[in-house]
Amino acid sequence: MTDKLLQISNLDIVLPEGSERDLAVKDLNIDLSPGETLCIVGESGSGKSLTARALMGLLPAPHVRVEKGTISFCGEDLTKASEPRMRQIRGSEISMIFQEPMTALNPVMTIGVQIDEVFRYHADMSKSERRQRAIELLEDVQLPDPKQIVAAYPHELSGGQRQRAMIAMALALEPKILIADEPTTALDVTTQAQILKLISEMQTIHKSGVLFITHDFGVVADIADRVVVMQYGNVVETGTVDKVLNKPEHPYTKALIASVPSLVPRAPRSRSDQVVLSGDKIQKKFGGGKSLFGLGKPNRFVHAVKDVTLDLRRGETLGVVGESGSGKSTLARCIIRLLDSDSGNIMLDDVDIRALNRAEMRPLRTKIQMVFQDPFASLNPRIKVGQIISQGPIIQGQSKEKAESRARELLDIVGLDERAFNRYPHEFSGGQRQRIGIARALALDPEILVADEPVSALDVSIQAQILELLDQIRESMNLSMVFITHDLRVAAQVCDRLAVMRYGEIVETGATGKIFENPQHSYTKDLLAAVPGQKWDRKVAG
């Protein structure tokens, strides 16, 4: 067994008393060979991140600690290694990249100084050698103009560049094992594709073993050699990527894979041609204001929505897709009048709602409602669920009794127990909270629902349930929906038509099937090409 880089046997990690379960990780057995990529997949709370931390000796002791089992790294048991020895190993032999490169890098130190630190602690090199090596590393990770980046601070780089710098740092001493904890989750899909490619290239060069932690089966399909599926701290299935993805055995793995939305668009539905909402040349700029008394320089402004024209027909779902910063959320907020747009028309039936003031807008609020992204931030923690749902109709002049009995009905419609009525939001899970948010939006019997990334904060199995719920209510209540998402897989399953946004502009619109088959704009092509796991999709489909 000595040719294995890493051998974890019977590992138990305990959680503090009073947690949901006693063991974060139970009886874990995994191994890793040189040059191999092992993916640990699981939903939130499955114990996958704690496993990585245990390897690095970075568990938040004393409350969370390794109870029993061994972590054998080239024959040495890391659970018994001393702290000085662990410091030697960290960075030089096992290194780690994190999910959010902005918080993993020190904001007050330049990239060069931070890479330099790695050498200063672990290697005996002169100052000029170290600087030379840092520049080489940045070149290796394909960062443009390494000499400038050495002197740059983290906030001066984009998310993708920061993650490249993190990788450069992690690879500085050619570690035998690279642990990557959701390294692309915070990145846009096109950047993600580049980073994944970079990691696998680096691995080929350095022959290191990569332990890749992710929740995304598309990513797994693209990079893994072997896969470990975890649920509630237990390993439910292990095997080669082909076996786990294409012939899963455990019911949980099967369920997980079944909930990954397919890239093959849904069959087009028949729809009416009646336009319920249309936007014409909507503009929104941020900033550009002057400071008090008009002193000083005017602020920089961002053109968040540029000349956007779109229409929504009765009963259809219009997807607005784009990467972060494309202005899709701003557009949604302009449509629902949370933000005032600068110019253009927003016609709801025959009224231009852009021109209305708040009082005039109030009665029209019943027609158009919103579902928000973050199920934790979108419900007031101090107000009971029943009140959250019923307060909309009460504001609009319904009697309290009527609104509350409707709220109870809605709880049932969104699949929650009626007892939820008298409980507070914090007693519910993310998926349940999102159901409450949907019930709140439905309480006013709207004709149009604007959903801003309604499933992006949820685990894949919950995501599938919420999408199904949205589909059901759309059918039963004949809703028209504007669906904002960055996830093309979700868009393929939900939307009848798509509008692709970049830098505040709609670059392409069309039926979902058409866009997926035959994208016209080069940006749409890039986006589609970057979706992870396409080969696997094709295999499943054909």
Partner 1 sequence: MADFWKRFSRNRQAVLGLIILCVVIFVAAIANIIYPGDPFLYSKFPLSAPGENGFLLGSDSIGRDVASGIAHGAKTSLLIGLIATLAAVFIGIIFGAFAGYYGGIVDDILMRVTEVFQTIPSFIFAILLVAIMKPSIESVVIAITVVSWPAVARLVRGEFLGLKNREFVQACHTLGMSDIRIMLAEILPNCLSPIIVIGSLMVATAILIESGLAFLGLGDPNVMSWGFIISDGRSMLRVAWWICTFPGIAILITVLAINLVGEGLNDALNPRLRERN
Q: How many CB atoms lie within 10 A of CB 53?
A: 17
Instruction: Tell me: does residue 379 bind partner 1 (CB under 8 A).
Output: yes
Q: How many CB atoms lie within 10 A of CB 273?
A: 7
Instruction: Tell me: does residue 165 bind partner 1 (CB under 8 A).
Output: no
Q: Tokens 């690095």 map to which residue?
A: 56
Q: Which of 338, 405, 422, 535 binds partner 1 (CB under 8 A)?
A: 338
Measured CA distances, 142 to 130, 146, 518, 523 (Å): 19, 9, 31, 22
The CB-of-437 to partner 1 minimum distance in angstroms stands at 7
Instruction: Give the residue with the Cβ less far from partner 1, 265 or 446.
Output: 446
Instruction: Tell me: does residue 49 bind partner 1 (CB under 8 A).
Output: no
Q: Which of 426, 525, 535, 539 binds partner 1 (CB under 8 A)?
A: 426
Instruction: Give the residue with the Cβ less far from partner 1, 24 or 241.
Output: 24
> Measured on CA atoms in the order 361, 366, 371, 376, is the torsion positive or negative?
positive
Instruction: Tell me: does residue 444 bind partner 1 (CB under 8 A).
Output: yes
The CB-of-378 to partner 1 minimum distance in angstroms stands at 4
Instruction: Tell me: does residue 169 bind partner 1 (CB under 8 A).
Output: no
Q: SS3 letters for 135-181?
A: HHHHHHCCCCCHHHHHCCCHHHCCHHHHHHHHHHHHCCCCCCEEEEE
Instruction: Give the residue with the Cβ less far from partner 1, 3 or 17.
Output: 17
Task: Single out the segment in contact with partner 1 by CB under 8 A; choices: 171-179, 218-226, 370-378, 481-489.
Answer: 370-378
Q: Choose among 173, 167, 276: nearest CA to 212.
A: 167
Instruction: Give the residue with the Cβ less far from partner 1, 133 or 337.
Output: 337
Instruction: Give the residue with the Cβ less far from partner 1, 203 or 378.
Output: 378
Q: Crossing angle of helices 111-122/159-170, nearest 10°?
A: 10
Instruction: Tell me: does residue 486 bind partner 1 (CB under 8 A).
Output: no
Which helix (DSSP H) or strand (DSSP E) does residue 65 occupy? strand 65-73
The CB-of-64 to partner 1 minimum distance in angstroms stands at 13
The CB-of-330 to partner 1 minimum distance in angstroms stands at 13
Q: Which of 81, 264, 361, 413 binds partner 1 (CB under 8 A)?
A: 361
Task: Single out the segment in contact with partner 1 by CB under 8 A; choices: 31-39, 63-71, 276-284, 371-379.
Answer: 371-379
Question: Which residues on neighbouring strands pair with residue 286, listed in sequence order?
Answer: 302
**Cα 283 to Cα 125: distance, rounded to the nearest angstrom:** 56
The CB-of-455 to partner 1 minimum distance in angstroms stands at 15
Q: At 163, which amino acid appears?
A: Q
User: Would you say how long the chain is, in residues?
Assistant: 542
Instruction: Tell me: does residue 382 bind partner 1 (CB under 8 A).
Output: yes
**Cα 516 to Cα 321: distance, rounded to the nearest angstrom:** 12
Q: At 154, which amino acid appears?
A: P
Instruction: Tell me: does residue 326 bind partner 1 (CB under 8 A).
Output: no
Q: How many helices (H) and strands (E) does the chain have?
A: 21, 20
Instruction: Give the residue with the Cβ less far from partner 1, 370 or 527.
Output: 370
Instruction: Give the residue with the Cβ less far from partner 1, 337 or 489.
Output: 337
Instruction: Give the residue with the Cβ less far from partner 1, 368 or 528.
Output: 368
Q: Is the peptide bond before 62 cis (omega within 30 degrees of 0)?
A: yes
Q: Which of 383, 412, 517, 529 binds partner 1 (CB under 8 A)?
A: 383
Instruction: Give the residue with the Cβ less far from partner 1, 262 or 291.
Output: 291
DSSP letter (8 states) at residue 443 = T
**Cα 372 to Cα 251: distance, rounded to the nearest angstrom:** 31
Q: Which of 48, 162, 354, 365 binds partner 1 (CB under 8 A)?
A: 365
DSSP 78-107: TTS--HHHHHHHHHHTEEEE-S-HHHHS-T
Q: Choose among 62, 95, 70: nearest CA to 12.
A: 70
Instruction: Tell me: does residue 299 bind partner 1 (CB under 8 A).
Output: no
Instruction: Tell me: does residue 377 bind partner 1 (CB under 8 A).
Output: yes
239, with CB counted inside 10 A (0-12, 13-18, 19+), is middle
Tokens of 303: 């053109």
Q: At 402, which amino acid appears?
A: K
Contact set for partner 1, span 390-419 (CB under 8 A): 391-392, 395-396
Q: Which of 192, 369, 432, 485 binds partner 1 (CB under 8 A)?
A: 369
Task: Single out the segment in contact with partner 1 by CB under 8 A; choices: 157-165, 178-186, 236-244, 369-377.
Answer: 369-377
Sheet holding 94-97, edge to edge: 94-97, 177-181, 209-214, 37-41, 226-231, 234-240
Q: At 383, which amino acid appears?
A: I
Instruction: Give the residue with the Cβ less far from partner 1, 209 or 375.
Output: 375
Instruction: Tell me: does residue 329 bind partner 1 (CB under 8 A).
Output: no
Q: Which of 270, 381, 401, 541 binds partner 1 (CB under 8 A)?
A: 381
The pattern of x and - marking residues 52 through 91 that bind partner 1 according to CB under 8 A reads ----------------------------------------
Instruction: Give the residue with the Cβ less far from partner 1, 176 or 365.
Output: 365
The CB-of-62 to partner 1 minimum distance in angstroms stands at 16
Residues that bind partner 1 (CB under 8 A): 292, 333, 336-338, 361-363, 365, 368-370, 372-374, 376-383, 391-392, 395-396, 426, 437, 440-441, 444
